[in-house]
Amino acid sequence: VTIKDVAKKSELDTANKKFTDYAVKYDKNGDTVNKNSITLEGGDAGTVIKNVANGKVTADSKEAINGSQLHEVKNNLTNEIKTTNQNVTNITNNLEKTNKGFDVYIKDKTADNTFNVGLGADDKDAFGFDAGNGLEISKNGKKITYALKDDIEVGKEGNDGKDGKVVVNGKDGEKVTINGKNGEIGVQGPKGADGKT
């Protein structure tokens, strides 16, 4: 080997600089190589790693993922958020409708004959059933039954009373009337051929 074959120090320094510039190196802890850490020399702006293959996305995966995979995750999350927001809006609208409750009316739906049963409050609203004169009411589970009393009284005696009257009609025009005003019991037979007598 002649002296001319020995590399100059400047040439070695140049080669070492090129190696340093092109190589990605592990970090060091003092003089020891730390193979658990790599710091890229991109400064505050960082370093872009290009042409990264799709990494496996699983619970136990330790592979790197790329921008397209993150973009897909972002789109999926955006769609899920939109769907969730729409579901929340639908639930809110349905709750508002439910909280209005419902109306109950007697005979005809006028203001005086209608009341509202509210829903959604902390205390439950309720409405009840009652039996009028001559009727009785009973409940068996969720079944409510109205029936005539065994003893029926109509009208009310006294100064503030009201005359009671019971009429039983037959299909052919016969009639039985019990009048509480004068105690009379009237019986009427079927109408004649002329429909009057």
Tens-digit pLDDT string for the chain (197 aa): 555 565 566 666 666 666 667 778 899 999 999 999 998 888 888 999 999 999 999 999 999 999 999 999 999 999 999 999 999 999 999 888 888 888 999 888 899 999 998 887 778 888 888 988 889 999 999 999 999 988 888 777 777 778 888 888 888 888 888 887 777 777 777 766 665 55
Query: Do the domain assignments include residue 103?
Result: no
Residue 140 lies in a domain: yes
Instruction: Confirm whether 148 is domain-assigned.
Output: yes
Residue 161 lies in a domain: yes
Cα separation, 2 vs 13, whole angstroms: 21
Q: How many domains does the chain have?
A: 1
Helix, coil or strand: residue 176: strand
What pTM was computed for the model? 0.47
- For 36, 81, 97, 111, 189, the CA distances from 184, given in Å and listed in that order, are 113, 81, 57, 41, 16
Tokens of 99: 């909280």
What range does the domain containing 162 cover? 129-182
Domain-embedded: residue 151: yes
